[in-house]
Amino acid sequence: MQRTLFRRGCMLRPLEVPFRYLFGPGPSNVPPRVLAAGGRGIIGHLHPEMYEIMNDIKKGIQYAFQTQNNMTIAMSGSGHAAMECAVFNTVELGESVLVAVNGIWGERVAEIAERMGANVHIMVKAPGGVFSNGEIEKALAKHKPVLFFLTHGESSAGLAHPVDGIGDLCRKHNTLFLVDTVASLGASPIFMDQQNIDILYTGSQKALNAPPGTAPISFNERACQKMFNRKTKPVSYLFDMAHLSNYWGNDGQPARLYHHTGPVSGFFSLRESLAILAEKGLEESWRHHKEVAGYLWKGLEDMGLKLFIQNKDLRLPSVTTIAIPEGYNWREMLQYIMKHHNMEMTGGLGPSTANCLCITTNMNMFINHCI
């Protein structure tokens, strides 16, 4: 039988990638040093040298999270991978989960928990709304969840949600406290151990200035007790921490066994970005983001624009959101900016889509390119 070969077409052309200023909520422009790290020669994902790099990554994440948790790794995947890993490993079928929804990321966690069969309860605020500790405790007492989720850096609204005291409430009600810092880590202060956060995760592509594809996550002893004493296996094999803890050398076993092929180049890049953060220092990174964000906020307001989060103390330094002026088509504005200035800015996400524009995700990158 004669077979027909499909044409090779565009694959015969050289790869072309335009330069863009990435001022949306991620990914960010990557510094040359991080790009160079990701371009190093590949080694095996089970080589001793790779284990050493993974150990360095673990230490870097512990510093960035301000935690001593042994069960600290980087997921092979985006921030969503860490999000699913957290829920899949700590929640079983039918268990109660409480989710604070004030933007897209609470919506995502609620859907993930529903899909794996949890009994999901939601607390809802308009985009950018803040939950009081009193409201949270009331919901904890009512629903008795095994897990409570809150977004620290809600990029769809530009909100940095207060965290102090919530971990104490979760311990009082025997609930694990899960916090998303994908858009805020490195830009806004977070103290995992001091704030009694049981599970914390982030993404590589935001203020950490690395390419997308790796997602740091950490579990404390309370979380480990829950996920390693469950009655059933997690719904995902790839995200099963019983395997991943061995892959990362966290389970005390003498040998690391094959589980999956990790993103070797991605780990190179992540290690370098964590090294840059350590060299700069967390306090200086937080200060830098806040200072430059202040310049940006003032400049926007001097132009007559209204910021979506009115309370300066609640604004996320890494993602500034602008209320869309009445009568303007935000999609047309963003298309114009991209066409004439090679700048990516974005609209809101999820419930904030029609309300705001998101700009300038990473102040370190903003400074490097524009000052």
The pTM of the full predicted model, rounded to 2 decimals, is 0.93
- The pLDDT of residue 314 is above 90: yes
DSSP state of 350: G
Report d(CA 91, CA 88) in Å as an integer: 6
How far is the CA of 49 from the CAs of 45, 46, 53, 54, 270, in angstroms?
9, 8, 6, 9, 15
- The pLDDT of residue 59 is above 90: yes
Mean pLDDT over the full length of the chain = 92
Q: E strands within the chain? A: 21-22, 71-76, 96-101, 119-124, 147-151, 153-154, 159-160, 176-180, 199-201, 214-219, 320-323, 343-344, 346-347, 356-359
- The reported pLDDT for the residue numbered 369 is 36
Confidence of residue 5 (pLDDT cuts 50, 70, 90): confident
Report d(CA 98, CA 153) in Å as an integer: 18
- The pLDDT of residue 283 is above 90: yes
- The reported pLDDT for the residue numbered 2 is 75
- The pLDDT of residue 355 is above 80: no
242-260 pLDDT, tens digit per residue, is: 999 999 999 999 999 999 9
- The reported pLDDT for the residue numbered 237 is 97
Q: What would the mean pLDDT of 29-47 be, rounded to a whole number?
A: 96
115-167 pLDDT, tens digit per residue, is: 999 999 999 999 889 999 999 999 999 999 999 999 999 988 899 999 999 99
315-331 pLDDT, tens digit per residue, is: 999 999 988 888 888 88
- The pLDDT of residue 370 is above 60: no
- The pLDDT of residue 361 is above 50: no
* Joined tokens for residue 371: 């000052």
How far is the CA of 330 from the CAs of 128, 320, 340, in angstroms?
19, 15, 15
